[in-house]
Structure 1
């Protein structure tokens, strides 16, 4: 099981649905759900896309940094 503690918080803070984030990543809502729940590891290129979109670092997304 993988841990991505901030994916859901950032998505909700930006009033986005899992479907919308899935579209941003070029994947499905079901696949994004698996990333958010830690069922499946999220690919690095998706982490970079999300970090850019939310204006945070990849380390922040992974819970390794507070900024």
Structure 2
């Protein structure tokens, strides 16, 4: 999971400070997410999925399909 969020960030030519600003946290805090020194809260995981237009399952490594989830009809 940690390598995956780093790869997603780098694929979009974003810096850690850019993603940290999006998440409203410090660059050090975000760096700790990427290195696995700090667990990623659920809300942050959801925000990252939105930022990268992918699913939380992809970020968590539960699937290799990076396509965004299909919204459910209510």
| Structure 2: runs of 5 or more not aligned | 66-74
- Report deviation, 1:4: 2.3
* Cα distance in structure 2, aligned partners of 1:22 and 1:30: 8
* Cα distance in structure 1, aligned partners of 2:20 and 2:30: 6
Q: How many residues align?
A: 65
Question: Counterpart in 2 of 1:60?
Answer: 58
- Partner SS for 1:5: helix
- Report deviation, 1:5: 2.8
1:28 to 26, 29, 32: 26
Question: Counterpart in 2 of 1:13?
Answer: 11
The TM-score normalised by the length of structure 2 is 0.83
Question: Counterpart in 2 of 1:39?
Answer: 37
| Structure 1: runs of 5 or more not aligned | none
Cα distance per residue 1:2-54 (max 9 Å; x no partner): x5230100000000000000000000000000000001101110110110111
Bigger Rg over Cα:
2
Give the superposed CA RMSD.
0.9
